[in-house]
Amino acid sequence: MKRYDVVALVTGVCFLGLALAVLADALVAPVSWGLVKIVTPVVLVVVGVAGLVLSRRS
């Protein structure tokens, strides 16, 4: 089974989300902070679970 660099993956996904939010803020419309308060914890939990799944040894 191929080993993944889980720390790099989780960090990259978090920074990708941040970059997409800044890009959307600059090009499309201002970011709604009410939406950010809801979406950010959900995304962090999903990314954390993905990191745990990928770090398991089978």
Render each residue's pLDDT in the chain as its tens digit; 58 residues.
577 788 888 889 889 988 988 898 899 888 888 988 998 899 889 988 988 888 886 5
pLDDT at residue 38, rounded to an integer: 92
Alpha carbon 39 to its chain centroid, in Å, reads 10
Alpha carbon 46 to its chain centroid, in Å, reads 8
pLDDT at residue 51, rounded to an integer: 84
> With the C-alpha atoms ordered 48, 50, 51, 53, is the resulting torsion angle positive or negative?
positive
**What's the token pair of residue 29?**
């419309």
Backbone angles phi, psi at 32, to 5 degrees: -80, 115
Q: Tokens 């803020």 belong to which residue?
A: 25
Distance (Å, whole) CA 27 – CA 3: 37
